[in-house]
Amino acid sequence: MTRRRTIAAAAILAGALALTACGTNRQEASGTGAGGASCDTSKGTLVIGMVAPLSGNLSALGLGMSHSADLAVKQANAACTVPGYALKFQAEDDQATPQVAGQAATKLSSDDNVVGVVGTLNSSTSQTVQPILAGKNIVQISPANTNPTLTLGDQPTTAPKRPFASYFRVATTDLIQGPFGANYLVQKAGKKNIAVIDDGKTYGAGLADQFAKQAEKLGAKVVAREKVGEKDTDFNGVITKIRALNPDAVYYGGEYPVAGPLSKQLAGQGLNIPVMGGDGIVDPKFVALGGREGDLATNVGAPAESLPSAAKFLSDYKAANYADPFGAYGAFTFDATNVIIQAVKKAVASGAYSADTTRPAIVKAVQDTKIDGAGGPISFDQYGDTTNKVLTVYTVKGNDFAPVEGSTGSFQG
């Protein structure tokens, strides 16, 4: 699931996009390239879509994703990256709900000019979106999905099988994130009696399972394994259960709308122990909702602020003056969008765009990707998973998360 802040605006579209030609999407020239020359967009407009929560409890993450993708598209148009074409960004709100996500994917897939989709945020929404986009050969790249079954099938560790050739992600999976968190909490933080709680959703339950397995392998005791609802606000029952078991930490699989209040209520009932979670809680809203100093989380990738490769993204995003921060997944979203843009450029180089022939070529070009992104090198394995397995441990400091010094790395079993 989620990631840290990034990016900004570069040059913006200059000139108006005017729709002409009967039955086509052809346009007059739009945008400016090097030296201020107008871009040739005479072949029409191609659409890069997004499916993410733009409203609701997780909108802080979704809006950062949307702005980051928008920035990448604007920069590509300004640079005339896809000769002959203008690119349009179209973000659809899934409200972090699978049914709504399916409707958003269906809407995008019905447009022959959609060349790729960035998203989703939630693994549970992606389970619905994947087959819809795959049915139209539309490439999908998620900056945030971490559940392993999305790329490895129902038996990810024993019989991995890729369900959809059109699906990719630039975030590493919970097969790595969960154990990575356990290694830190048990070996570095010294926690030996851990209560594990999750929200029952695809992301949260899967992450908690992987954490618990590794924690026990390291000799820690999982003193409780509990579930809460993603919309619950009162955790008295669960806290009463685990308090008697004297845990020295709580691991939560889920997202910040529950994790923040859970942390606050634990302390309110005398359990002044850290809460740890995954990338789904890494946002200032976790703290605003009750997260406390010393709470912990893992996040995919390295902190954008620490990466020379992300410096331009950070400055450009700031200059763009978006209304919201780029959030946990900004840099990865920017990268995912640019991967699609470069694949489109390659696919249309050999001929005019056609949904039937160009979309499969875009999928192949994405599979063959080898570029340097804001979040680091980008390439994909045979399952569509990123080859970048880097993660980072964060802790709450003040009103936000800060990386724990020396905690960036990859999982070592």
pLDDT tens, position by position, 282-303: 999 999 999 999 999 999 999 9
- Residue 31 binned pLDDT confidence (cut-offs 50, 70, 90): low
Q: Do 308 and 374 reside in the same domain of the chain? A: yes
DSSP alpha helix (H) spans, 97-201: 98-109, 123-134, 149-152, 174-182
pLDDT tens digit sequence for 227-282: 999 999 999 999 999 999 999 999 999 999 999 999 999 999 999 999 999 999 99
Which has the higher per-residue pLDDT, 292 or 35?
Answer: 292
Cis peptide before 120 (omega within 30 of 0): yes
pLDDT tens digit sequence for 204-234: 999 999 999 999 999 999 999 999 999 999 9
Q: Do 44 and 152 reside in the same domain of the chain? A: yes
State the pLDDT at residue 233: 96
Q: Do 112 and 63 reside in the same domain of the chain? A: yes
Q: How many domains does the chain have?
A: 2
Full domain range(s) for residue 246: 174-300+391-403
Q: Do 270 and 138 reside in the same domain of the chain? A: no
Q: Do 259 and 234 reside in the same domain of the chain? A: yes
The region of weakest confidence among 18-27, 182-191, 216-225, 359-368 is: 18-27
CA atoms of 284 and 324, how far apart (whole Å) = 12
pLDDT mean over 372-389: 97
State the pLDDT at residue 34: 52
pLDDT tens digit sequence for 330-355: 999 999 999 999 999 999 998 999 99
Give the pairing of strands 400-403 and 391-397: antiparallel
pLDDT mean over 68-91: 98
Q: What is the mean pLDDT of the chain?
A: 92
Q: Do 203 and 246 reside in the same domain of the chain? A: yes
pLDDT mean over 60-68: 98
Q: Do 397 and 257 reside in the same domain of the chain? A: yes
The 8-class DSSP code of residue 173 comes to: P
**Is the separation of the CB atoms in 68 and 336 below 8 Å?**
no
Q: Do 235 and 164 reside in the same domain of the chain? A: no
State the pLDDT at residue 28: 36
pLDDT tens digit sequence for 110-158: 999 999 999 999 999 999 999 999 999 999 999 999 999 999 999 999 9
Nearest Cα residue to 179 out of 147, 215, 152, 224? 215
- Residue 12 binned pLDDT confidence (cut-offs 50, 70, 90): very low
The encoded tokens of residue 352 equal 């005019």
Q: Do 261 and 398 reside in the same domain of the chain? A: yes
Q: Do 178 and 166 reside in the same domain of the chain? A: no
Amino acid at 34: A
Nearest Cα residue to 228 out of 266, 192, 178? 266
317, pLDDT greater than 80: yes
**Is the separation of the CB atoms in 73 and 49 below 8 Å?**
no
State the pLDDT at residue 36: 58
CA atoms of 184 and 186, how far apart (whole Å) = 6
State the pLDDT at residue 69: 98
Q: Do 147 and 181 reside in the same domain of the chain? A: no
For 347, the enclosing helix (H) or strand (E) is helix 330-348
- Residue 268's domain is classified under what CATH number? 3.40.50.2300
